[in-house]
Amino acid sequence: MPGRPAAISSTGLTKRFGTVNAVDGIDLHVPQGSVYGFLGPNGSGKTTTIRMLLGLVFPTDGTHTVLGSDRPAELTRVGALVEGPAFHPYLSGRANLVRLDAADRTADARTMRTRVEQALDRVGLLAAAGKRYRNYSLGMRQRLGIAATLLRPRDLLVLDEPTNGLDPQGTREVRSLVSELARDGVTIFVSSHLLSEIEQLCTDVGVMSVGRLVWQGALTDLRAQQQPQVRVETPDADAACRLLRELGLTDVRMFGDGAQALIGTVAPEAVAAALVRAGVALRGLRVERASLEEQFVGLTGEGFDVSG
């Protein structure tokens, strides 16, 4: 992808457990400044990939760089939330962040309070900072987890299923926060199995299926590949299918109340006129593009959770 410097890049990245390739030779390119959606059904290899990128597990084969380096030291510029936040339930949100900050030997203790307050403010938790973590809602817990990643300036955030298990309000809170961070120029790598999350948040997308990266690129490019199809509502489905083939349309099929086909460059009004001339009873005709859900199912052979 020329002209788009990578925040994350990999070549042939592979992780094998016994005889099973959990991640099978993937070549990632996450452009700097993007919100990259790492999409795939549960068990497709997303979390294992993230763990390799963060140095939590070693790859069986292949190479990767994060922020242009393959050295773990660069991870100080990376914030990550993997498989949900973990905090002390009996401590307040503020106290939990203070403990995390104190564990960072590279942080200046004299400015610790400022960092903690700024991180809480960034995620909208200042008013609830003194409340015990056990009393936080799921959305608040996720936001505190993101706050923990923001105790230091970050160039890259890696978020694994950031809205998993959240109610609609919590989901909106986390999405709004991610969008705000992206506007500030942070590259964000979001792993998810929720299609709506990817559609609403992301500029770029990578699709995983059974350990393989089956598609990667800008979301606009994926949408551009959606081929329009014509759907003809008629009781004469057989006759409609024959005529659509004669007009040069492809992938002609019957459905419940008519026929459908990829329309290509044929004008819809020409299709309607031909059907009428041939005496096909026409109840309705519309042109539509395959949904993103249908595209992803076509890429992976599996469905996705659509709602977030």
**Assigned token pair, 203:** 């500029």
Asked if residue 140 and residue 21 are part of one domain, the reply reads yes
Contact 262, 232 (CB under 8 A): no
Give the DSSP per-residue string, 45-87. SHHHHHHHHTTSS--SEEEEEETTB-SGGGGGGEEEE-SS---
Burial of 230 (0-12, 13-18, 19+ CB in 10 A): buried
At how many degrees (to 10) do helices 112-122 and 93-102 cross?
130
Q: Residue 215 carries which side chain, given as an amino acid letter?
A: W
Q: Are residues 31 and 166 in the same domain?
A: yes
Q: Which of 224, 257, 275 is the last residue of a domain?
A: 224
Domain-located, residue 246: yes
Per-residue pLDDT tens, the chain, 308 aa: give them.
446 799 999 999 999 999 999 999 999 999 999 999 999 888 899 999 999 999 999 999 999 999 988 876 567 889 998 877 789 999 999 999 999 999 888 888 899 999 999 999 988 899 999 999 999 998 899 899 999 999 988 999 999 888 877 778 878 888 888 888 899 899 999 998 778 778 888 999 999 999 999 999 998 888 777 778 899 999 999 999 999 999 999 989 998 889 999 888 899 999 999 999 999 999 999 998 766 777 777 777 765 554 44
In a domain, 35, yes or no: yes
298 within domain boundaries: no
**Rounded (10°) CA dihedral 36, 188, 193, 305:** -90
For residue 307, being part of any structural domain is answered with no
Sheet of 228-233, strands arranged across = 250-255, 258-262, 228-233, 284-289
How many helices (H) and strands (E) the chain has is answered by: 10, 14
Do 201 and 233 lie in one domain? The reply is no
Spatial separation of the C-alpha atoms in residues 105 and 111, rounded to whole Å: 13
Nearest CA to 158 out of 75, 220, 43 is that of 75
Asked if 37 and 150 sit in the same domain, the reply is yes
Sign, CA torsion 141/32/179/292: negative
Number of Cβ within 10 Å of residue 294's Cβ equals 12
Q: How far apart are CA 190 and CA 180, in angstroms?
A: 14
Rounded Cα distance, 113 and 91, in Å = 16
**Looking at the structure, do residues 232 and 247 belong to the same domain, yes or no?**
yes
Predicted pLDDT of residue 308: 42
- Helix ranges (H only) for the chain are 46-53, 93-102, 112-122, 138-149, 168-183, 195-201, 219-224, 237-246, 268-277, 292-300
Q: Which domain holds residue 267?
A: 228-289
